Amino acid sequence: MSYAIIRNAKYKMANMQSISRHNERQNKQYGNKDIDTSRSDLNYHLKKPQENSYEREFYRLREENQLKGNLRLTGKKQSNVVCEFLITSDNEFFKRLGEEETKRYFKTAYEFACKKCGEENIISAVVHMDETTPHMHLTYIPVVEGKNKNGEKVKKINCSEFWKGFNSYGELQDSFYSYVRERGFDLERGEPREEKREHLSVNEFKAETLKKEIEQLENRIDTLKNDLKAFKTVYDKVKDIKYTYEQIDDLKAKKSVLNKANVVVPEKDFERLKDAAKKSSTLQYELELIKSEADRLKDRSKRNEAVAYKYKTENEQLRDKVSELSEKITVFHRLFAKHNVSEKQVNALLKQTMKEMQAEKIQQSMKEMQAEKIQQRSKQKSWEMER
């Protein structure tokens, strides 16, 4: 049986550029091997941003909808300003549905999201058909109703209050499952058991860590681009000074009548010489700083690439492990069905097994503590005898 899957992620302003490039397929190359760029023309929007970046679209919607909120948009401790639903199921489900029903599924999911977060607050809703499993990225601004200092009702951006209104991610799963089931999609509720969520948490954490590392690398690339722009600006100034040097070569000076070792130049030309000397000294200093910073960023970029490669390798290993576990779970389900074992019995067996495993862990911990105490006492006695 396939599951109705909806997950939520929170993002800060620092993340906007990377998720915009990924969701809107603005990159030329992707590290994700699942993306087949030759099929990217099959992707489509249920809502397309008016601006060409999520950051600019955020500011546009905030102004247009008069959204308030005490937000920290820069610095280390930034506020969560947008959220994103990832909506999908398994690949077999979409193969059974066919093209038209797959489109209806995502349209239904979009209608659900509009009811939850307001269509006017949605930045983008794009369906990716160029990966192994079709899915939708729906990026939105979490908006709640509040009051200003004058007691007037206002709409404000506040991620934590928005999710308090949902009560929990579990409630989100429940409501989405009910919504799509009522509209004719034969699905089970996504992540139906707490045990399953515990097993997936490590894999999800690894994937999230890799995603953050990739975002950091992309931010480093942006920094290098900015440094190159600064270098170009300085270079343009240098060209201007070079032109000034050519003018200086054409200056005519006369030897001083009083002292043949000195020359006399017009005051205007003398001021030009002083100005050129000052600019040359300043630009030389700026160039040295930029070169030093570029070398430092280059070294850091190499280290980040090594870390990203490490996590990419781990992520691929985890993906293979998840695939293997999924196959085993399918086999177990068939065995249970073959022997008429109900889901309730399976759940009871899992809970009992988890309790037994927990009890074994506690007993093992107690044994280790007792062994450590005995070892400490033995050391204490040996020390007293030596005294």
Residue 286 has pLDDT above 50, yes or no: yes
90, 288, 314, 326 from 321: Cα distances, Å: 17, 50, 10, 9
Q: Crossing angle, helix 194-249 and helix 16-23, to 10 degrees? A: 100
- Cα dihedral: 109, 116, 161, 20 (round 10): 40
What are the extents of the domains in the chain?
A: 3-192, 200-341, 352-387
CA distance linking residue 127 with residue 88, whole number of Å: 10
CA gyration radius, the chain: 32
CA distance linking residue 129 with residue 139, whole number of Å: 17
State the CATH class of domain 3-192. alpha beta
Q: Do 206 and 365 form a contact (C-beta atoms < 8 A)?
A: no
CA distance linking residue 381 with residue 110, whole number of Å: 72
In terms of DSSP H, where are the helices of 183-193?
A: none
> pLDDT tens digits, residue range 65-75?
999 888 888 88
Average pLDDT, rounded, for the chain: 77
Lowest mean pLDDT among 79-88, 153-162, 170-179, 352-361: 352-361
Q: Which amino acid is at 321?
A: K
Residue 288: phi, psi to the nearest 5?
-65, -40
Q: What is the pTM of this model?
A: 0.51
CA distance linking residue 141 with residue 67, whole number of Å: 10
> pLDDT tens digits, residue range 211-249?
555 655 666 566 666 666 666 666 665 555 554 555 555
Edge-to-edge strands, sheet with 44-47: 44-47, 122-128, 135-140, 80-88, 3-12, 188-189
Residue 111 has pLDDT above 90, yes or no: yes
